[in-house]
Structure 1
Amino acid sequence: MCRHVALLGPAEPLAAALVAPPHALYQQSWAPRHQRHGTVNADGFGVGWYAEGDPVPARYRRAGPIWADPGFADLARVVRAGALLAAVRDATVPSADGEAAAAPFADGPWLFSHNGAVTGWPHSLAPLAAALPADEVLSLAARNDSALVWALILHRLRAGDTPGQALADAVYDVAGAAPGSRLNLLLTDGAAVAATAWGDTLWYLHDQGRRAVVASEPYDDDPRWQEVPDRTLLVATRADVTLTPLKEPPS
């Protein structure tokens, strides 16, 4: 379920990455090539981007399919950014949260997306939720698994964890509490991207010093795309990409 992409590179219209490529996120909403779970991502979408000189990203999210929103087409045509995170959503269960349930979730400089599903939701993660401060649970953006996973990660970021460590520890805890979960996570502050491959596909394209793209699947047929092995943490900047195996929780 779901497809997402994060990009760091030269400033260009959002459409250059999200609409124009032959297999862009826009097309992946109805015709993904590598999606293992679900087929149509029509239960909401969102894009967050960073304007030059402003560390806090803007967001545009809707509860419906990306192809049915003419406002997005106009926005993507004229808004330029050198860093973004966007996602199209295939919901796991019915929800009344509307666009609040659509990624990217945000706080301060951070944008976050979850491609996957937590098994046994919500009961499986009740112990992890109970360990969070009450105000953080009450401030959840939506009542779905992705919003709680984001709360777990944000709690670690606020405590001083690096983005990679925050993702790795959250995956370890959630996978331990809910075995069989799919936890492909994507996090950016506009300068770096951290991501996990855990149960679904993840790819990256790196043009050293110029561009780094991390996505559920390639948006074109450039031969430089590389697939990330399952159970791997990726951290990318425009300068380099680092891959680190993720620790498995006890069975």
Structure 2
Amino acid sequence: MKPAPADLPHWPYPRWIAHRGAGQLAPENTLAAFRLGAQHGYRMFECDAKLSADGVLFLLHDDTLERTTSGQGLGGALPWAALSRLDAGGWHSRTHAGEPPATLDAVARHCLANRFDLNIEIKPSPGLAYVTGEAVGREALRLWAGASGAPPLLSSFEPEALAGARQTAPALPRGLLLETLCEGWLDTALGLGCVAVICDHEHWTAEAMARARQAGLRTLAYTVNEPADVARLEAWGIDGIITDAVDRLSPV
């Protein structure tokens, strides 16, 4: 049985969220992935944002470039002019060879033009958590200024990054990302003024989800790719499901 809701904040987002654009069907964190996810009916997307050496926010999950681009070394150590010339699609398939990296600006404009919602994970380079959070908050305010839809949900595994986002964009919703429900997780989320907790789906329990809801927090889970896991989480009252399986799990 789903727990009775407490006085939860308004939640304008769809339940289904495409992980890094289209999960694994297209090169992650590229506009190609966003377009493919939309073709499968998804209307909300998750992406990873970090700072280039010259202060441009761009999409990259890893600290280093090797796995998902033709570059080498720390992504944040290069200026955007160099990053923009990399191939961010060839590692995935010949179909996507030559796909460029994406800036947060480009992804935001794509989402706004298509009325998509966005979860921006703040993914700072080592030692840059607070300043990256500040930059994401500042840029999100600029990009969504005057927009009629839902604001972006800002999330991070690093409390310092969320604190930075809170400093520059206190009104934007924030979510604490967790690998496990470690001791003090609820107090940390509340202390950062978060509206949601986003945890690895394997570590959510009915009791933990009920605690979050009683505290006024929404609950999301990643990376949920199997129908049995979806059913379990939905029975407990999950608010958001982040998935790679955009071709197998329908958001309708």
Using structure 1 for the length normalisation, give the TM-score: 0.31
Structure holding more strand per residue: 1
Q: Which has the larger radius of gyration?
A: 2
Q: TM-score, normalised by structure 2?
A: 0.30
Comparing both structures, which one devotes a greater share of its residues to helix?
2
